[in-house]
Amino acid sequence: MDVFTVVVFLFNVGVAYFQQCTVKTLRVDADKTGARLKGYTYITFSNIGPNACYNECIRRTKCRSFNYNSITRRCDINKMSSSSETDFVDETNCVYVDMTQYRGDSYYDPCPGSDACVKGEFCQTLKDNINICNIDVKGKVQCQTGEGYLVKIENSEENTWIKSIVK
């Protein structure tokens, strides 16, 4: 691993840690408390705060809702949303949030409108509010649950661009 990759990884670890430690409340209202949607989870994140859970969901077009447990700090990203009581199970300290109302609103959604990422990608905001779309594959998600992001640099132009946005 080259020095630049290590620096990018450490930078992202620091940013993720700072965001987790400064978040105390969820920025949106829960649609259901004391319950979680069952059977539709496609990604689970551990040890993250409620706003980080919201951010992981809103950046993925596939995410329709999420469950967040404040005691275990578990975030389940769901590919479906539901209002049917039979789709839920009781879980203490858990909230369920339907993301439909937040999609496309630039106050809540970092990639609204024509710049939104396509299915299978997630939006990441870089320095100077530049948004890019990353492929949402299991290997990258596993890296992110460890508080980091993989960077694949294919040529010297990309390397120069990455250096210009990461200080």
| CATH number of the domain within which 89 lies | 3.50.4.10
| Residues composing the chain | 167
**Number of domains the chain is built from:** 1
Q: What single-letter DSSP state applies at residue 39?
A: S
- Is 5 among the domain residues? no
82-137 residue pLDDT tens: 878 899 999 999 999 998 888 777 677 766 654 567 777 777 777 776 777 777 76
State the Cα–Cα distance between residues 116 and 11, nearest whole angstrom. 25
159 occurs within a structural domain: no
Quote the CA–CA distance of 45 and 29 in Å, as a whole number: 20
Does residue 10 fall inside a structural domain? no
Predicted structure pTM score: 0.60
- CB count, 10 Å around CB of 48? 22
pLDDT digits (tens, 9 = 90+) for 10-65: 555 454 444 443 334 556 788 999 999 999 998 999 999 998 899 888 888 788 99
Residue 102, domain extent: 25-154
Q: Is residue 81 part of a domain?
A: yes
Q: For position 47, what pLDDT does the model report?
A: 93
Any domain includes 86: yes
